[in-house]
Each structure stands twice: as C-alpha cells, then as structure tokens.
Structure 1
Amino acid sequence: MINRSRRGLFTRQRPSQQQRLPWIKDENTFTDHCQRCNACVDACQTNVIVKGDGGFPVVDFNHGEGECSFCYQCAEVCPEPLFEPQHQLPWIHIATINSSCIALNNIECRSCGDQCEIQAITFALQVGKVAQPIINTVDCSGCGACISGCPVAAIEMITP
C-alpha cells in the first residue's frame, strides 16, 4: 500500500492531486492493484492518459487532444478490476476558473468556451467589461477540453 501523504518527503514536494482515470473505483484500490502495464495509456483514443508519479497512469489534459472522450477503452483493456461499470458517472470532477483568467482581468478571451463542446461554459455580457465566463456545473462533464484551450492555464478540475 502506498502512503501518499509521505510521497513528497524526499522530493520536497507536496502530495499532488493528480487526475485519475475515469471510472476508477477508489484511490487505494487503484494504487494497490494497478500493474502500471500502460495498457490504458496505449488504448486512450485522445492520448490524455500518461505515466504519472510512480509510473501510475494519470489524465493530463495538456497532452494529446486535451480532453477525455469517455470512450471506456482504458477500463476495457485493464487486466485488473479497477474500474466501475461504464453506465456509472466517470467521475465527479468539474472545471473551475481561477483569478488568472484573462477575461476576468478584462481582456477579451473566449477560448475555453470555444473548446467546450457541450457548452457548459458561457459568457455573460458586462457593462464596462469584457464578457465574463460562467461554468454551468450541472452541465460540465469534466472532459478537460477547456483546460488545454486556455492560454494562461486558468482552468483546473476540482471535486465539488
């Protein structure tokens, strides 16, 4: 069993919140049983699954096509029972926009909204300002398309 609270002891880094694959049952099952065989990395249609800390696969929205298509290929090729059934929600992550967003700093930008296929990011017109981004958290699937499209890395995934 991996003690994640102690992972940064020798690297002087805080334990990171890495984006795990969709449909993972739980963190402990994942780290205890994942063989790090890279079958999920090879099967990912959008190439967002990469080797992360300790060789464990993680989702990196700044890699490949920059979004998860929720194709379930990672779960189907996995030799271990790490995944929930496909009919369940893949994860409960949603996008959030931090204060470094250039639209929030009154510079015209709508790249996150342009990347959001399901239109969970809209823009509200403001008097004396550029349109401000609004994320509809009910509609956000957490696919990550908005992350790779942001020119200032102002978007991250959170668990509400």
Structure 2
Amino acid sequence: MSNINQSRRRIFSRKKSNAIRPPWSKTDIEFTDICSRCDKCIKACETQIIFRGDGGFPEINFADDECTFCKKCAEVCPEPLFIDTEQAPWELKAIVQESCLAYKGVWCQSCKDACDERAISFNPAIGQAPKPQINTELCTGCGACAAPCPTNAINLLSLDQ
C-alpha cells in the first residue's frame, strides 16, 4: 500500500476518544460533530467538573468533585447534543486500580465514605486490609469516590470500552 493511501486513510478515519463527555450526551463522534464549543455547559456545571478538553470540546474531570446529575449542562446547551435526561446519564462505572492503598495493606475506605449510593463495600479478610468491591448495579458513575482517593486509584470507565 502506498504512503499516500495510508495518509488518506489516517485523515478520514476517526478514533474514539477516551474523553468523558457530559452526562446524557450523544456518542463521542456525534458529540464532536455537533458541539459548537460555546462553553455554556462548562459555565453551568454546579460542581465545576466540566472543562475544555482536546480541541476545545467539553470533558469531565472527577479529580476535584462529582457529577450531581443536575442536568444544567443539558438544559443550557443550544445544540442537539443530549439524549432524554430521564434515561441513565451514561454507562460509566468506577474501577479500582492496583494503586489502591488497600492492595498495599493500608486500611483506607475514603471511596466508600464518599459513595452516597453505597456501591462500594469492603469485605474483611484475615491478616490484611479489606479490599474494595464495586457493585456495578448500584454505581451511577457520579465520580464521588474518585476525588477523595489519596492515590487516585479510582477511574471511571464506560462499560462499552
């Protein structure tokens, strides 16, 4: 295959972004096709977790706070970017990484304490710190567990990734 064909294919192929878009937003490709990057959702976010990401498109960052599902981002958006807000906001679920203090033998339950949905439990184990278990049926993907984690061991990922 010639280099010209490879370059052309690279230009016209679209990779799915790993960015977390605001709740109730359409798929990433639809989102970036329609979003005008007006920043209205960023300004409306009551917890300030929406920021200008790659290409100026809105992204979510759970480092400092959680999503309260207030729907303000969807309400202020002038574009048809959002699905029905009566549906589930997204398919995000919390995932605990190996950097979790519990996996290192340190007793920490900051993620459980922050989870209003009670989706995180710790099962006692003899001779070791209890390790977190996430009930994906209860997890809303709000990100409340991510900010208080001292080792940033909580990631929120889409189930379809």
Does the 8 Å CA contact 2:92/2:158 hold for their aligned counterparts?
Answer: yes
Which residues of 2 match residues 23-62 of structure 1 at below 5 A? 23-62=24-63
Deviation of the 1:3 alpha carbon? 5.4
Deviation of the 1:16 alpha carbon? 5.4
Deviation of the 1:42 alpha carbon? 0.4
Q: In the alignment, residue 83 of structure 1 is paired with which amino acid? A: F
How has the CA–CA distance of structure 1 residues 34 and 157 changed in structure 2, closer, same or farther, with 3 Å as cutoff? same
Q: In the alignment, residue 30 of structure 1 is paired with which amino acid? A: F
CA RMSD of aligned residues (A): 1.7
Task: Tell me if 1:98 matches 2:115.
Answer: no
- In structure 1, how many angstroms separate the alpha carbons of the residues matched to 2:120 and 2:36? 37
Does the 8 Å CA contact 1:2/1:31 hold for their aligned counterparts?
Answer: no
- In structure 1, how many angstroms separate the alpha carbons of the residues matched to 2:43 and 2:147? 21
Higher strand share: 2
The aligned counterpart of 1:18 is: 19
Task: Tell me if 1:71 matches 2:45.
Answer: no
Q: What is the TM-score with the length of structure 2 in the denominator?
A: 0.87
How has the CA–CA distance of structure 1 residues 102 and 16 changed in structure 2, closer, same or farther, with 3 Å as cutoff? farther
Q: Decide which structure has the larger Cα Rg and report it.
A: 2
Identity of aligned residues (%): 46
Deviation of the 1:26 alpha carbon? 1.5
- In structure 2, how many angstroms separate the alpha carbons of the residues matched to 1:2 and 1:117? 44
- In structure 1, how many angstroms separate the alpha carbons of the residues matched to 2:14 and 2:25? 17
Q: Secondary structure at the match of 1:149?
A: coil
Deviation per CA, 1:138-159: give whole Å up to 9, x if none: 0000000111111001110122
The aligned counterpart of 1:8 is: none
Q: Secondary structure at the match of 2:155?
A: strand
- In structure 2, how many angstroms separate the alpha carbons of the residues matched to 1:44 and 1:122? 29
Deviation of the 1:104 alpha carbon? 1.5
- In structure 2, how many angstroms separate the alpha carbons of the residues matched to 1:122 and 1:3? 42
Q: In the alignment, residue 125 of structure 1 is paired with which amino acid? A: P
Deviation of the 1:106 alpha carbon? 0.9
How has the CA–CA distance of structure 1 residues 3 and 20 changed in structure 2, closer, same or farther, with 3 Å as cutoff? farther
Q: In the alignment, residue 30 of structure 2 is paired with which amino acid? A: T
- In structure 1, how many angstroms separate the alpha carbons of the residues matched to 2:123 and 2:134? 11
The list of structure 1 runs, each at least 4 consecutive aligned residues, that deviate by more than 3 angstroms after superposition, is: 1-5
Q: What is the TM-score with the length of structure 1 in the denominator?
A: 0.88
- In structure 2, how many angstroms separate the alpha carbons of the residues matched to 1:50 and 1:24? 15
Q: Which 5+ residue runs of structure 2 have no aligned equivalent?
A: 1-10
Q: Secondary structure at the match of 1:124?
A: strand
Q: In the alignment, residue 149 of structure 2 is paired with which amino acid? A: C
Question: What number of residue pairs does the alignment pair up?
Answer: 149
